[in-house]
Chains A and B, each alone.
Chain A
Amino acid sequence: MDHKISKIVEQMAPSGIRAFFDLVLGMKDVISLGVGEPDFVTPWHIREAALHSIEEGYTSYTSNKGMPELRKDIVHFLEHRYGMKYDWNEEVLITVGVSEGLDLVMRAILNPGDKVLVPEPAYVSYVPTVQLAGGEAIILKTSIENNFKLTAKQIDGAITKGVRALMINYPCNPTGASYTRKELLEIARVVKKHGILIISDEVYDELTYDFDHTPLASLPGMKDHVIYFNGFSKSYAMTGFRIGYACGPAKILGAMTKIHQYTMLCASITGQIAASEALRHGAKSVEEMKREYKRRRRFIVDALNGIGLDCHMPEGAFYVFPSIKKTGQKSMEFATGLLNKKKVALVPGIAFGPSCEGYVRISYASSYENLKEAIARIKSYLG
Chain B
Amino acid sequence: MKEGSMDEILEILANDARITADEIAKLTGKSKEAVKKAIKHLEGNGTIVKYKTVINPDMMETGKARVRALIEVGVSPQKNVGFDNVAERMYSFPEVTSCYLVSGTYDLLLVVEGDDIQTVSNFIASKLSPMEHVRSTSTHFLLKKYKEDGQVLKKGRNKKRLNISY
User: Is there contact, CB below 8 Å, between A298 and B165?
Assistant: no
CB neighbours of A35 from chain B (8 A) = 161-165
How many inter-chain residue pairs (CB < 8 Å) link A and B?
A: 47
User: Is there contact, CB below 8 Å, between A299 and B166?
Assistant: no
Which of B22-30, B82-90, B104-112, B117-125 is near enough to bind chain A?
B22-30
Closest Cβ of chain A: how far from B30's Cβ, in Å?
10
Q: A266 interface residue, CB < 8 Å from B?
A: no
Q: Which residue of B lies closest to A31 (CB)?
A: B163
User: Is there contact, CB below 8 Å, between B27 and A25?
Assistant: no
- From A24, A302, A347, A368, give the contact of B166 (CB < 8 A): A347
User: Is there contact, CB below 8 Å, between A39 and B161?
Assistant: yes
Q: How many residues of A contact B (CB 8 A)?
A: 26
- From A37, A291, A303, A368, give the contact of B165 (CB < 8 A): A37
User: Is there contact, CB below 8 Å, between B26 and A32?
Assistant: no
> Whole-angstrom distance between the alpha carbons of A175 and B128 in the complex?
63
Closest Cβ of chain B: how far from A209's Cβ, in Å?
11
- From B8, B11, B163, give the contact of A25 (CB < 8 A): B163
Q: A88 interface residue, CB < 8 Å from B?
A: no
Contacting A at CB under 8 A, from B126-166, are 161-166
For the complex of A and B, the 9 pairs showing the least CB-CB separation, nearest first, are A34-B164, A295-B27, A32-B163, A24-B164, A36-B165, A36-B166, A124-B166, A298-B29, A299-B26
Q: Spell out A's residues near B (CB within 8 Å).
A: 21, 24-25, 27, 30, 32, 34-37, 39, 123-125, 173, 291, 295-296, 298-299, 302-303, 345, 347, 351, 368
CB neighbours of A124 from chain B (8 A) = 166
> Whole-angstrom distance between the alpha carbons of A27 and B164 in the complex?
11
User: Is there contact, CB below 8 Å, between A291 and B8?
Assistant: yes
User: Is there contact, CB below 8 Å, between B161 and A368?
Assistant: no
Closest Cβ of chain A: how far from B119's Cβ, in Å?
37
User: Is there contact, CB below 8 Å, between A302 and B164?
Assistant: no
Q: B6 interface residue, CB < 8 Å from A?
A: no
CB neighbours of A302 from chain B (8 A) = 26
Q: B14 interface residue, CB < 8 Å from A?
A: no
